[in-house]
Amino acid sequence: MGSAPETKKLTQEQRIAMVQEKKRRTQRLYLTLSIIGILVFLLIWEIASDAGFVNSRYLAAPSTIFKLFITKLTDPNPDGAVLGVNILASLQVSLTGFFLAIIVGIPLGLLMGWYGGFESFVRPIFELVRPIPPVSWIPLTIVWLGIGLPAKAFIVFFSAFVPCVINAYTGIKQTSPVLINFAKTCGASNFTIFWKVGIPSSLTMVFAGVRVALGNAWATLVAAEMLAASSGLGYMILMGRQFARPDLILLGIVVIGIIGVTFTAILGRVENRVLGWKK
Amino acid sequence: MSEQFVHDPEYKVEVRNLTKNFGELKVLNDISFNIKKGEFICVVGPTGCGKTTFLNLLTRIIQPSAGDLYIDGEPADPTKHNLAFVFQEPSAIPWKTVEENLRFGLEIKKLPEDEIKSRVENIIRLLGLEEFRNSYPHQLSMSTAQRVIIGRGFAMSPDLLLMDEPYSQMDIKLRFYLEDEVIRLWKELGSTVVFITHNIEEATYLAERILILSNKPTTIKEEVHVDLPHPRDVTSPDFIKIRKYVTDQIKWW
């Protein structure tokens, strides 16, 4: 053992640090590539518009959109609200729906996956509701809830709710039987096993579900704001269509995109926190 | 079949007429035996003889069709007694560190914090796991992970520690190493151990007493006492004689 190579002498901590450093380096490389990708895309777009390949009535150049972005920060025209108000209105709708979906959907899925009786009780209704497109609830929602925040949030809720339930359900169903048996031999009650083994092992799937739910929530936003609204990003896009202002439409799309990316990043942070043991 | 059970204080674990049927299939047939406190028993038998069913009955993962298992004269109950199980498959909890894994069972038993601490520290010291204390199972080598699981079993100070072929997936060097480790822990902590294996040499190396199971429906075919001091020499004539004898018993149906 005297002439063991240098790597053998590393402690567990140093070894982990080494692997992580390598990982970070790859991540930095990928980040740079992503940024270059976006820049190249914008550049081609800008050149295409400026050179007149595309009629500016159909497609606005990125620089025009950026200028409009600056104007819209303070100017409520032409849709009636400044950008900040639109963003806040949209956030309110999508986040209300999204968090409701998480709060209701994940526990429902977990309970369904763990307790057979509860599953038999709830599953048929869930299976019936599941394939209905969230947008088809709009007319009924207007009758029930009018056109305010609750109505719009309800539509968003539906689109985010289904993936939460399905992933929580599947995740907890996949709990390793060995771990369940181990907890049983420790004398744990069924609820303790559910809490301490089932839920933690379902979290990977749950987070995947939340990710899908977040995407769905954003995607249904425009549909929800078509219900009727006086502000909101979806509303702004709609107005852009009415005034034949592609720059306004594109600004709405871009802002929705950027906020979506931001949320995904925040979610990624939370996931890293909770599932940090995987690193 | 239900003659009154009388507890014999000499024994820690008493198994009476243990029987298990899965529908028509009779898997275990009327098994009775006793284990003294602190004894190390190996159970060997041919493949598919119902070893796993046998263990699952002992740990109460499944309920017997007839007969029962008594610990200190009371029917075994995982919420009351300390049963610990080392599974064949990797069973460290992946989202918990080594230290948290060792604590898990003790926390479920709701032991006082300083008791949990002292036991966990003791196991970490005995198994030399100090540098892995904050590592997660997937960061460990297979043998280290298995040592954690074995340590977790011993940390329970179990009335009965059951091990189901814990080394079947390891190469021979690791197996020898971990076999010695188990003997060391067993001697140090005085636990009562039932070790299931299909490896006769392993059984002869470890056990004070070997139970040989028959084919299905399984009964105990024979008990063999191994009166050799630890650590045992696998090449000594006495060792080879016992190993050969057990092998012959298994071959003979």
- The full DSSP string for A62-80 is HHHHHHHHHHHTT--TTTT
B109–A186: do the CB atoms touch at under 8 Å?
A: yes
**Quick check: A2 pLDDT over 60?**
no
pLDDT of residue A218: 87
Cis peptide before A177 (omega within 30 of 0): no
| Tens-digit pLDDT profile for residues A153-171 | 888 998 999 999 999 999 9
Residues of B whose CB is below 8 A from A184: 59-61, 78
Which of A39, A44, A165 shows the shortest CA–CA distance to A112? A165
Alpha-carbon distance of A117 to A107, in angstroms, equals: 15
Which residues sit opposite B68 in a β-bridge? B16
Q: Are A71 and A261 in contact (CB under 8 A)?
A: no
Residues of A whose CB is below 8 A from B156: 186
Q: Please provide the average confidence, as pLDDT, over all residues in chain A.
A: 87
The range of the structural domain enclosing residue A209 comes to 62-278
Does A201 contact chain B (CB < 8 Å)? yes
Which residues sit opposite B69 in a β-bridge? B15
B104–A12: do the CB atoms touch at under 8 Å?
A: no
Looking at the structure, tell me whether residues A44 and A102 fall in a common domain. no
Identify whether A4 is part of a domain: no
- What is the average per-residue pLDDT within A81-103? 91
Alpha-carbon distance of A221 to A224, in angstroms, equals: 5
pLDDT of residue A4: 46
**Quick check: B1 pLDDT over 60?**
no
Looking at the structure, tell me whether residues A81 and A194 fall in a common domain. yes
When comparing pLDDT for B101 and B157, which is higher? B101
- What is the average per-residue pLDDT within A184-205? 91
Identify whether A2 is part of a domain: no
B60–A178: do the CB atoms touch at under 8 Å?
A: no
Q: Would you place residue B252 in the very low, low, confident or very high pLDDT band (cuts 50, 70, 90)?
A: low
**Quick check: A43 pLDDT over 70?**
yes
Looking at the structure, tell me whether residues A112 and A150 fall in a common domain. yes
CA A141 remoteness from chain centre? 23
- What is the average per-residue pLDDT within B206-223? 82
- The DSSP bridge pattern shows strands B11-22 and B25-36 to be antiparallel
Helix locations, chain B, DSSP H: 51-58, 98-108, 113-127, 142-155, 172-189, 200-206, 237-251
Residues of B whose CB is below 8 A from A187: 77-81, 83, 108-109
- Amino acid (1-letter code) at residue A97: G
The CATH number of whichever domain residue A73 belongs to comes to: 1.10.3720.10
Q: Would you place residue A228 in the very low, low, confident or very high pLDDT band (cuts 50, 70, 90)?
A: low
Which residues sit opposite B83 in a β-bridge? B160
Residues of A whose CB is below 8 A from B60: 184-185
The total number of structural domains in chain B stands at 1
Q: Which of A11, A186, A203 has the CB atom closest to B78's CB atom? A: A186
Alpha-carbon distance of A2 to B190, in angstroms, equals: 37
Half-sphere exposure of A150 (CA within 13 A, CB side): 7
**Percent above pLDDT 70 for chain A:** 96
Identify whether B229 is part of a domain: yes
Token pair 């078509």: residue = A226
Looking at the structure, tell me whether residues A26 and A158 fall in a common domain. no
A 10 A CB-CB count for B10 gives 9
A 10 A CB-CB count for B232 gives 17
Residue A3's contacts (CB-CB under 8 Å, 6 or more residues apart) are none
pLDDT of residue A98: 94
Does B232 contact chain A (CB < 8 Å)? no
Does B205 contact chain A (CB < 8 Å)? no
Q: Would you place residue B78 in the very low, low, confident or very high pLDDT band (cuts 50, 70, 90)?
A: confident
Residues of B whose CB is below 8 A from A192: 108
Q: Would you place residue A1 in the very low, low, confident or very high pLDDT band (cuts 50, 70, 90)?
A: very low
A183–B83: do the CB atoms touch at under 8 Å?
A: no
pLDDT of residue A110: 95
Identify whether B253 is part of a domain: no
Identify whether B207 is part of a domain: yes
A185–B136: do the CB atoms touch at under 8 Å?
A: no
Looking at the structure, tell me whether residues A132 and A21 fall in a common domain. no
| Tens-digit pLDDT profile for residues B43-56 | 887 777 777 788 88
Alpha-carbon distance of B94 to A279, in angstroms, equals: 11
Does A277 contact chain B (CB < 8 Å)? yes
- The DSSP bridge pattern shows strands B193-196 and B160-164 to be parallel
Identify whether A57 is part of a domain: no
Identify whether B4 is part of a domain: no
Does A17 contact chain B (CB < 8 Å)? no
Looking at the structure, tell me whether residues A150 and A268 fall in a common domain. yes
3-state SS class at A236:
helix
**Quick check: A200 pLDDT over 50?**
yes
- What is the average per-residue pLDDT within A46-69? 85
Cis peptide before A131 (omega within 30 of 0): no
B78–A185: do the CB atoms touch at under 8 Å?
A: yes
**Quick check: A3 pLDDT over 50?**
no
Which residues sit opposite B163 in a β-bridge? B86, B195
Looking at the structure, tell me whether residues A35 and A108 fall in a common domain. no
Looking at the structure, tell me whether residues A240 and A166 fall in a common domain. yes
Q: Where are the beta strands (DSSP E) in A73-217?
A: none
3-state SS class at A223:
helix
Identify whether A116 is part of a domain: yes
The range of the structural domain enclosing residue B114 comes to 12-247
CB neighbour class for A153 (10 Å; exposed up to 12, middle 13-18, buried from 19): buried
Looking at the structure, tell me whether residues A156 and A31 fall in a common domain. no
Of all residues in chain A, the one with the smallest CA distance to B62 is: A181
Describe the strand order of the beta sheet including B66-71 as a list of residue ranges: B25-36, B11-22, B66-71, B74-75
Residue A259's contacts (CB-CB under 8 Å, 6 or more residues apart) are A87, A90, A91, A218
Identify whether A84 is part of a domain: yes
Cα–Cα distances (Å) from A15 to A19, A279, B93, B132, in that order, read 6, 13, 22, 12
How many angstroms away from the CA of A189 is the closest CA of chain B? 8
**Percent above pLDDT 70 for chain B:** 98
| Tens-digit pLDDT profile for residues A101-149 | 999 999 999 999 999 899 999 889 888 988 888 888 888 888 888 878 8
Of all residues in chain B, the one with the smallest CA distance to A13 is: B131
Q: Would you place residue A7 in the very low, low, confident or very high pLDDT band (cuts 50, 70, 90)?
A: low
End-to-end CA distance of chain A: 31
Looking at the structure, tell me whether residues A25 and A96 fall in a common domain. no
The two three-digit tokens of residue B228, written as one number: 């050799």
A178–B89: do the CB atoms touch at under 8 Å?
A: yes
A 10 A CB-CB count for A72 gives 24
The two three-digit tokens of residue B7, written as one number: 């507890």
When comparing pLDDT for B73 and A24, which is higher? A24
Q: Would you place residue A6 in the very low, low, confident or very high pLDDT band (cuts 50, 70, 90)?
A: low
pTM above 0.90, yes or no: no
Does B110 contact chain A (CB < 8 Å)? no
pLDDT of residue A232: 87
Element (H, E) at B40: strand B40-44
The CATH number of whichever domain residue B129 belongs to comes to: 3.40.50.300
CB neighbour class for B150 (10 Å; exposed up to 12, middle 13-18, buried from 19): buried
Residues A106/A111/A114/A119 CA torsion (nearest 10 deg): -110
Of all residues in chain B, the one with the smallest CA distance to A188 is: B108
Interface test with B, best of A182, A192, A197, A272 (most B CBs within 10 A): A182
- What is the average per-residue pLDDT within B105-126? 90
pLDDT of residue A44: 92
Alpha-carbon distance of B192 to B34, in angstroms, equals: 11
The total number of structural domains in chain A stands at 2
pLDDT of residue A55: 79
3-state SS class at B230:
coil
Looking at the structure, tell me whether residues A42 and A92 fall in a common domain. no
Identify whether A72 is part of a domain: yes
- B window 52-71, beta carbon within 8 A of A: 59-61
Identify whether B2 is part of a domain: no
B85–A181: do the CB atoms touch at under 8 Å?
A: yes
Predicted ipTM > 0.95: no
Identify whether A182 is part of a domain: yes
Alpha-carbon distance of A187 to A53, in angstroms, equals: 73
Looking at the structure, tell me whether residues A101 and A207 fall in a common domain. yes
**Quick check: A70 pLDDT over 60?**
yes
Identify whether A245 is part of a domain: yes
CA triple A210-A214-A218, angle to 5 deg: 165
Alpha-carbon distance of B159 to A1, in angstroms, equals: 40
Q: Where are the beta strands (DSSP E) in B187-229?
A: 193-196, 209-213, 220-225
**Quick check: B199 pLDDT over 70?**
yes
- What is the average per-residue pLDDT within A55-79? 85
3-state SS class at B5:
coil
Does A205 contact chain B (CB < 8 Å)? no
**Quick check: B84 pLDDT over 90?**
no
Cα–Cα distances (Å) from A145 to A137, A149, A150, in that order, read 11, 9, 7
